[in-house]
Amino acid sequence: MTRAVDVVVSGSAAPGLVAQLRDDLTLGVVVLDAVETAVFDGATDRWVVGELAARVLIDTAVEPGTRTGLLADDDVRAGMRPYLAGARHGFPNHFTVTDDDAARYVTQCLGALWRRGCTRIEVKPHVQAQYSRGVDRIRRKDRRTAKLADFEFTTSHDREEDDEDYRGPTVLIGADGTEIDVDVHLLALYQPVDNAVRWSGRIQPSAALADLHRGLNQPVHIRVGGRPAVPAVLVDNDPWGGSHITGAGQSPYPLPLLAELARLDG
């Protein structure tokens, strides 16, 4: 049985942070000497740490242990630089605080999270990508002041009503019939003028994907669940080893809008 708490702080390197969270935000904070393993539960927007279910997890060491977010940790560490106060896309409600400046900034972020009545704060993917490219380009720490607009504040209800996208497992089929299991994020849109569906998305990095994707604009097929495979094109690779994929004609996953139109026609 897990016990819900507001914040778990791993380590004692930032005592001022704990005081700010407790005194300024009146949050329930549990301080642990170390957290070896933590898993983010996307259904409840909480980090499961032993018998605790924390809304927010804060580490005070750069390499604290194993953290399992919404993306593979190895992939994210390999391609994404921690954004400003140690936040990374794919790891909601998680910060790494190693100095007083970061502590003050994280306190502001959490204050905004609680005031808005939201349950998740996460760096937007394009903000993370731009920041990572900037760090790689200039090879020095970016000191610019971040805006709260760089983060998404959501509840589980918000995400249920989000764009008609698909995130999850998919089978990618090469021209020679080779099939590999991949994780994707796809967005399909119905174009009423063309009376057709156009879709695009990103395939998460993996060794199997690297072996299959060998060239630009490479024809493939993609299959989601028990649906028929649909033709697609692997456009190119991104800097982190993922692949951009596009297609047109039939959506690879069910579109609620098309189902609604079919009911109206019937």
Residue 112's domain is classified under what CATH number? 3.50.50.60
Q: 238: how many CB neighbours lie within 10 A of its CB?
A: 14
Say whether 9 sits in a helix, a strand or coil: strand
Query: Can you tell me the distance from the alpha carbon of 264 to that of 125, in angstroms, rounded to the nearest whole number?
Result: 36
Q: Which of 215, 159, 157 is nearest to 185 (CA)?
A: 159
Last residue of a domain, one of 116, 143, 160: 160
Query: Can you tell me the distance from the alpha carbon of 135 to that of 25, in angstroms, rounded to the nearest whole number?
Result: 32
pLDDT at 90 (0 to 100): 83
Residue 234's domain is classified under what CATH number? 2.40.10
Residues 143 and 186 in one domain: no
Residues 20 and 58 in one domain: yes
Identify whether the C-beta of residue 85 lies closer than 8 Å to the C-beta of residue 95. yes
pLDDT at 11 (0 to 100): 85
Residues 20 and 117 in one domain: yes
Give ∠ CA 141-136-36 in degrees, rounded to 5.
Answer: 70
Identify whether the C-beta of residue 48 lies closer than 8 Å to the C-beta of residue 69. no
Identify whether the C-beta of residue 86 lies closer than 8 Å to the C-beta of residue 93. no
Last residue of a domain, one of 160, 184, 205: 160
Residues 98 and 179 in one domain: no
Identify whether the C-beta of residue 54 lies closer than 8 Å to the C-beta of residue 31. no
Last residue of a domain, one of 160, 194, 217: 160
Q: Which of 90, 103, 6, 96 is nearest to 46 (CA)?
A: 6
- When divided into structural domains, the chain yields a total of 2
Identify the H or E element spanning 158. helix 156-160
Residues 117 and 249 in one domain: no
pLDDT tens across the length of the chain (266 residues): 789 999 999 987 677 889 889 998 999 999 999 899 999 999 999 999 999 999 999 998 876 678 888 765 544 454 556 677 578 888 899 998 888 888 888 999 999 999 999 999 998 887 877 766 766 666 545 455 667 777 878 777 666 654 578 999 999 999 999 999 999 999 988 887 877 889 999 999 999 999 999 999 999 999 999 999 999 999 999 888 899 999 998 889 987 655 554 554 55
- Enter the pTM of the model: 0.54
Name residues whose C-beta falls within 8 Å of residue 5's C-beta, 6 or more positions apart in sequence: 28, 29, 30, 52, 53, 54, 55
Question: What residue numbers bound the domain in which 86 lies?
Answer: 3-160
Say whether 175 sits in a helix, a strand or coil: coil
